Structure 1
Amino acid sequence: MSLIAFLGAIETGLLFGIVALGVFISFRVLDFPDLTVDGSLPMGAATSATLIVAGVNPFLSLLGAIIAGALAGLVTAWLNVRLGILHLLASILTMIALYSVNLRIMGKPNQALLGEETVFTPFEKLIDLPYYWVTPIVLFAVIVVLLILLNLFLSSETGLGMRATGVNGRMAAAQGINTGKMKLVGIALSNAMVALAGALFAQIQGGADITMGVGVIVVGLAAVILGEATFSTRTIILATIGCVIGSILYRVVVAVALNADFIGLQAQDLKLVTAVLVVLAMTLPGARQKWAKRKSVKGAGQ
């Protein structure tokens, strides 16, 4: 695998690390299975691309994408909290609706950004390195800032209330925590981060497309599970860092598998590789526990 391909895998891993952090909030912190991300990622991309083409500053377009993603998350949480619709079904309904919303935003199935300035343009002029180095460096800086802000939030009173809601909603409500509000805030925050990733994705690849969100939830879950399987999750800080590391590992493994000629995999095998990696990530922790238990039993027997 060439250096450019490797850095491309790191770049994509960092980008989907933001998605993994959003998925971590909904699935792990709130215990809320949210499929809205398949619609909020292209929504962030569509919003950012449309704003840039309209002459808006690329950095401000990111803010627009974040707000759009947060609104999408609020709709899902509102359907669940206020209307009593099952969380999984609520997120599916929102995801389906966002397909039409995204078409409305762009006015067409895709929006090109060729020749337009992006948030990476100033850094390409500032950092005296080839373009394939600049994007991963900028994304790494974004990830570090997001990790700091997210961990500060989850350590705050609101964040602790959100975590308590995910662990035991009834007990949290008995302690005076507004669990409905926690879900509204948490799902909005989750989809805001996913939409930010979509906006950055659009600016990196040079355009937004209506289908770019297909399978995002699987990639996000794969990153979270792989991070938990390979990295310590004893604290919330380590768990969030593990999400990013899991995303990078996932993309690197996929890139190695697709670039290894002796395996014979091609681009159309990406979904197959994804499914195999998710299965391995989900079974690895259990297999490791069984192996450790057998080892301890043998040690005790001797």
Structure 2
Amino acid sequence: MKMYKLFVMSVLLMVVSCTIDKTNYEDELNTAVPEYYEFKEAAVVTKDEFKISIEALNGTFYQGYNEIRLKIINAQTNENISVSNVTFLPVITHPDGNRTSCPNRYNLEYKSAGHYYSGYSVFTDISNASANWKIEVNFTVNQKTYSVNKDISVREQINRNLNMTSFTGNDGEKYIIALISPQKPKVAENQLVAGIYKYNLPNGTGDSLPFSYAEVVGYTLQLDPRMPEPSMGNHSSPNNKDLIQGNNGLYYGVVNYTMTGNWTLNFILLNKNGKIIKGTKVSTDFTPGVQGAKSELFIDTLF
């Protein structure tokens, strides 16, 4: 009889524990996951007869990876203008006056189909009283160079599928990994896209801000996705693929989400020689009732 009572009490404790975990988990899922696919004007500035319009998804700059589209037109006629050497530099000024940049494409690429200049910026901080972002743009028309700048606002990224992380690797270098896609995953195998960047120490010659970060070349980002909730037992999923670099510099892999909820993307970053830069293997043990262990390099997601 005593053993029976102990058994019943154990079952009740497990039910209560799982119910608490499940309730919190469902509360988090009530947060809508936004999807933005339309580019809108996020900032505009006029210089002489030129209008420079900077577009981003949803017309907003978010902390993390942002695709940038820049258009330069005649401010009076709204006609496209033939320009060259278009550069784009985001700069953040700190309370001590120190100016730093972030991973970005400095020399923009012209896309003739849309009549815009293409780039990206990985904003590392949100705008606040102690962090002021400014965009600096240079371009050339008829062999004359023009420079403009514009204060902008960078907002918090509420879509956890677009989270980012920064860390110092075992090689002593500073890195950033930023998730780019999918914005809203499906219960299926999803293409996972990320940018990986390394900080370049100033060399003491010239303006180092435009080149303060570089795209990491030839690395591998090993992937082990898991559901860390105690009620989920930190289980993983099959058919995931590590991220390798594509021709455009971004890293592509596959993450298989077998159900909606909280997921942790556990990573191990390897350099081109196969040496571990950061990350640790996660135990394959199923651990119901226990918060799942994570790699020392990870990004949490939710959908």
TM-score (normalised: structure 2): 0.23
Structure (1 or 2) with the greater helix fraction: 1
Determine which structure has the larger strand proportion and give its number: 2
TM-score by length of 1: 0.23
The structure, 1 or 2, with the larger RCO (C-alpha pairs under 8 Å, 6+ apart) is: 1
For the pair shown, which has the larger CA radius of gyration, 1 or 2? 2
